[in-house]
Amino acid sequence: MAKPARPRASAASAKPAATDAPVSPAIIETAALAGEDASVFALRSLQQAHANNKRYDASDAELLHFYEQMVLIRRFEERAGQLYGLGLIGGFCHLYIGQEAVAVGVQSALRAGHDSVITGYRDHGHMLAYGIDPRVIMAELTGRAAGISRGKGGSMHMFSTEHKFFGGHGIVGAQVPLGAGLAFGHKYRDDGGVCVAYFGDGAANQGQVYETFNMAALWKLPIVFVVENNGYAMGTAVKRGSAETHFYRRGTGFRIPGMDVNGMDVLEVRQATEVALEFVRGGNGPVLMELNTYRYRGHSMSDPAKYRSREEVQDMRDKHDPIEAAKQDLLRRGVTEAQLKDIDKRIRQAVAEAADFAENSPEPAPGELYTDVLVGSY
C-alpha cells in the first residue's frame, strides 16, 4: 500500500519533537569544537520559534481575503482542467489544486512590488495569489495574444516583472539559482528586498539546488527557499526518490536553518513565513522552509495516476483541504454561509469571464513568431 504522501501535515505536532530529541554526543562534541560559532548557529531556532507560535492571528477580513484567493485558484484551475479537456489548452498544464494555501499564505507575508518571487512550471496559482488578472493568465493558457506572455510562453512560462514575479521556469530546479540571483540583486542594490524561490520535492534532488544553498549561505543572500512537498515528484513518491525525506533538514550541511510547516493551513503558512522573513531581512542569510502539501490532480494533465490510490487522494480532500479548513474557521468566527456563498459566486463569475476571454481573444499575429528573440538589432 502506498503510504499516504503527506501524513506529516496532519501529524505536524509530532514532528517538532524530533528536533527536540536528545542531542547525540557527536553533535555535542561538534558544537563544543565550534565554540562561539555554534551559539549563533540558528539551525534549529526558527523551527522552535515556529513551534511556539504556529498560526497567524488573522483578522476576519484577512482570513476572508485568503479564503477568496484560495477559492479563486481552485476554481480557476478546475476551469483550466476543463479547457484542457476541450483542447483549448495544449501541451503541459500543471494544476495547483490542493496546494492553494502555500502560495496564498507565503504571498500574504511579502511586501508587494518589493520582494521578488520565482517558481517552477506549476505557476498559475502563484500568479493568481499575486493578484494578477485571471483573464491574462487564462489567455496565456489558451495561447492568445492577450496572454501575459503574449501567447509565447504557455502554462509553464508566465512572468510579471511589474509584480516582481519572475516565472514560470520549465527545467526542474533551475529557478533555485535564478532566485538566488534575484536575491543577489536585492543585496547588491541594498534595497531590503527578499526573494522567495519555490521548488518541489522532486527539484530538491537536483544538484544545482545544493550549489545554490552553498553560495546563498556563503554570501548571506536574502532568500527564502520554499520546498512545496506535495508528496510526489511526478509519479515518484518522496520515499522512493529521496534518502532524506525531511526536506527542511537539507540545508543543514550549508548552515541554512530549516522549518517544517503544514502547508495545508494558510494561517500556519503565513506565520511560518513571517518567522523566516524576519530572519532573512535581518541579514542572516537564507532559510529553507518545507511546506507539506498535497496535489489532488495529476502531475500534469496526462497523468495516469497509477502511483497512488483514489482513497489516499480522497482522504486528503476530506480531512486536510485548506479551503474547507479556512471555511470552517470563518464560520466559527461568525461569518455567515451567505457571505461565503457570495464570494464563491463572485469567483465563479470571474473565472467564467476569464475563460470566455481566453477562448474568444485572437491568437498572436503571425509576425509575432519573430519578435522578442533578441532585444537589440544587430
Residues that bind another protein (CB under 8 A): 116, 118, 147-153, 157, 159-161, 166-171, 174, 176-186, 188, 207-208, 211-212, 214-215, 218, 371-376, 378
Closest residue by Cα to residue 171 from 200, 142, 151, 150: 200
Distance of closest approach, residue 332 Cβ to another protein, in angstroms: 42
Using CB atoms within 10 A of its CB, is residue 370 exposed (0-12), middle (13-18) or buried (19+)?
exposed
Contact indicator for 125, 99 with CB cutoff of 8 Å: yes
Q: Please, what is the minimum distance in Å from the beta carbon of residue 166 to another protein? A: 6
* Residue in this structure with the C-alpha cell 502560495, named with its chain if needed: 103
Q: Quick one: 118 or 261, whose CB is closer to another protein?
A: 118
Min dist. Cβ of residue 280 to another protein (A): 16
At residue 316, φ and ψ (nearest 5 deg) are: -65, -45
CA quadruple 353, 356, 359, 365: dihedral, nearest 10: -70
Measured CA to CA, the distance from residue 183 to residue 283 in angstroms comes to: 12
Distance CA 27, CA 42 (A): 14
Q: Which is nearer to another protein, 135 or 327 (CB)?
A: 135
How near is the Cβ of 264 to another protein at its closest, in Å? 30
Question: How far apart are alpha carbons 365 and 311 in whole angstroms?
Answer: 47
- Cα(127)–Cα(280) distance, integer angstroms: 23
CB of 370 to another protein, least distance (A): 10
Q: Which is nearer to another protein, 105 or 168 (CB)?
A: 168
- What is the smallest separation between the CB atom of 369 and another protein, expressed in angstroms? 10
Closest CA to 46 of 209, 200, 249, 235: 249
Nearer to another protein, 84 or 165 (CB): 165
User: Closer CB to another protein, residue 267 or residue 288?
Assistant: 288
Block residue for cell numbers 509565447: 152
CB closer to another protein, 342 vs 372: 372
Min dist CB 81 to another protein, Å, is 23
Distance of CA 163 to the CA centre of its chain: 16
Instruction: Indicate the helix (H) or strand (E) that contains 198.
Output: strand 195-200
Nearer CB in complex with another protein: 119/293: 119
Shortest distance in whole angstroms from residue 117 CB to another protein: 11
Q: Which is nearer to another protein, 170 or 235 (CB)?
A: 170
- Residues in contact with 14: Cβ distance below 8 Å, sequence separation at least 6, in sequence order: none
Taking the C-alpha atoms of residue 254 and residue 106, their distance in angstroms, rounded to an integer, is: 23
